[in-house]
Amino acid sequence: MSLLRTFIAIEIPKNIHNAIEEQTAGLKAALGPSLVRWVPVDNIHLTLKFLGDISPTNVELLAQMLSQEASQQQAFEIQFEGLGVFPNQRRPRVLWIGIQAPAGLETLQHGIEAATTRLGYPAEVRPFSPHLTIGRVKQNVGGEGMQSIRTALQGARVGELGRAPVKNLTLFKSELKPTGAEYTQLHAAPLAD
């Protein structure tokens, strides 16, 4: 039985994907595909918990847990705005879009973290920092390439991209293919109205 690579996330609507594409086009053109591996815009989502490889027999248990956690949280709205990097401007590794959300998002993420830990999944050691990953700096980028990335980031601006309601949590399967990651929804759990 082959394992499934999975994660729990909030899907991002098409209008936000389109706004991200428009506002990051200049940055992508400046850096190109040689320095940064860009996330296909349709794959951009807000990860709440990366589970890694799981047994297919655990999908139903995770779906029940997700439905339970989602039902305890009222639907809310999040705003997308700004551009940032992890870990810092000097050594950028991950390029991301910022998220402003009510406390409900953090409550929801903590609930999922606690529930998945109870199910035996490893706890995340880093504090939750909501963001949308748009690109990852390639491993082999040297000093000159890093300088190009820093320069491009200094000139890049991402303003307000819009707001979106959060009404569901989704358990996704991720398949790594030569063309990139392909995501398949395994379960969607509605938040309370």
H helix and E strand count, the chain: 4, 9
Give the other-Cβ count within 10 Å of 132's Cβ. Answer: 21
Looking at the chain, list the stretches that DSSP marks H as alpha helix, in order from N- to C-terminal side: 14-35, 59-71, 103-118, 143-155
Contact 35, 155 (CB under 8 A): no
**Which residues neighbour 150 within 8 Å (Cβ) at sequence distance 6 or greater?**
89, 90, 92
CATH architecture, domain 4-188? Alpha-Beta Complex (3.90)
- Per the structure block, which two tokens stand in for 152? 């491009």
pLDDT of residue 179: 79
| Residues 80/98, Cβ–Cβ less than 8 Å | yes
Full-model pTM: 0.93
Assess contact for 164 and 96: CB atoms under 8 A: no
CA distance 76 to 78: 7
What is residue 158's predicted lDDT score, i.e. its pLDDT? 94
Distances (CA, A) of 24 to 7, 75, 176: 25, 29, 24
H-run or E-run covering 173:
strand 168-177
* Distance of alpha carbon 131 from alpha carbon 118, whole angstroms: 25
Kindly tell me the sign of the dihedral angle through the C-alpha atoms of 166, 126, 41, 95: positive
Rounded average pLDDT per 10-residue block, the chain, 193 residues: 93 97 95 92 96 95 97 96 94 95 95 96 93 94 92 93 96 90 95 91
Residue 32 has what pLDDT?
85
